[in-house]
Amino acid sequence: MFIGREREMAELERRYRQAGFGFPVIYGRRRVGKTRLLQEFIKGKRAVYFMATEQGEREQRHAFSMALREQLPETQLAGDFASWDDLFRYVAEQARTQRLVLVIDEFPYLAKAVTGIASLLQKYIDHVWQDTQLFLILCGSSMSFMERQVLGYKSPLYGRRTAQLKLHPLPYYESLRFFPAWPDEERLMAYGICGGIPQYLAFFSRYGSLQEAVCEEFLSLGGHLQEEPENLMLQELREPALYNSILTAVAHGASRQNDIATAVGRTGSQITFYLNNLQSLELLTRQVPVESKNSRKAIYVIADNLYRFWYRFMPECATLIAMGMGERAWQARIAPQLSEYFGHVFEDIAMQYVQAQVRQGTIPELYTTYGHWWGNNPRQKREEEIDLVCTNETDILCGECKWRNEPVGLSVLTTLQERAALIQRQRRLHLMLFAKSSFTLELQQAAAEKEIQLVTLRDLLALC
Q: How far apart are CA 296 and CA 7, in angstroms?
A: 38
- Cβ atoms of 99 and 46 closer than 8 Å: yes
Alpha helices in 128-183 (DSSP H): 143-145, 172-175
| Separation CA 224–CA 61 (nearest Å) | 32
Cα–Cα distance, 362 to 367 (Å, whole number): 13
CB burial string 419-441: b at 16+ within 10 A, e below:
bbebbeeeeeebbbbbbbeebbe
What is the reported pLDDT for 18? 95
pTM of the model: 0.90
pLDDT at 76: 72
Contact (CB, 8 A) for 389 and 374: no
Q: What is the pLDDT of residue 62?
A: 95
CATH number 1.10.10.10 is the correct assignment for the domain at 173-341: yes
Domain ranges of the chain: 6-166, 173-341, 365-461
Residue 296 has what pLDDT? 85
**For the domain bounded by 365-461, which CATH number is listed?**
3.40.1350.10
* Cα angle, residue 309 at apex, residues 105 and 257 outer, rounded to 5°: 90
- Which fold would CATH assign to domain 6-166? Rossmann fold (3.40.50)
What is the CA angle 172-176-181, rounded to 5?
160
What is the spatial distance between Cα 213 and Cα 190, in angstroms, rounded to a whole number?
A: 9
Distances (CA, A) of 86 to 80, 135, 257: 10, 19, 53
- How far apart CA 38 and CA 178 sit, in angstroms, is 20
pLDDT at 292: 87
Region at 169 (left for phi over 0; alpha for psi -120 to 50; beta for the rest): beta
Question: pLDDT at position 142, please?
Answer: 87
Q: How far is 224 from 108, CA to CA, in rounded Å?
A: 25
pLDDT in tens, the chain (464 residues): 788 999 999 999 999 999 999 999 999 988 899 999 999 999 999 999 999 999 999 999 999 999 999 998 777 777 899 999 999 999 999 999 999 999 999 999 999 999 999 999 999 999 999 999 999 999 999 888 999 999 999 999 999 999 999 999 999 999 999 999 999 999 999 999 999 999 999 999 999 999 999 999 999 998 999 988 888 888 778 888 899 999 999 999 999 999 999 999 999 999 999 999 999 888 999 999 999 887 788 999 999 999 999 999 999 999 999 999 999 999 999 999 999 999 999 999 999 999 999 999 999 999 999 999 999 888 888 899 999 999 999 999 999 999 999 999 999 999 999 999 999 999 999 999 999 989 999 999 999 998 899 999 999 999 98
| Cβ–Cβ < 8 Å for 49, 42 | yes
What is the distance between the alpha carbons of residues 178 and 323, in angstroms, rounded to a whole number?
A: 31
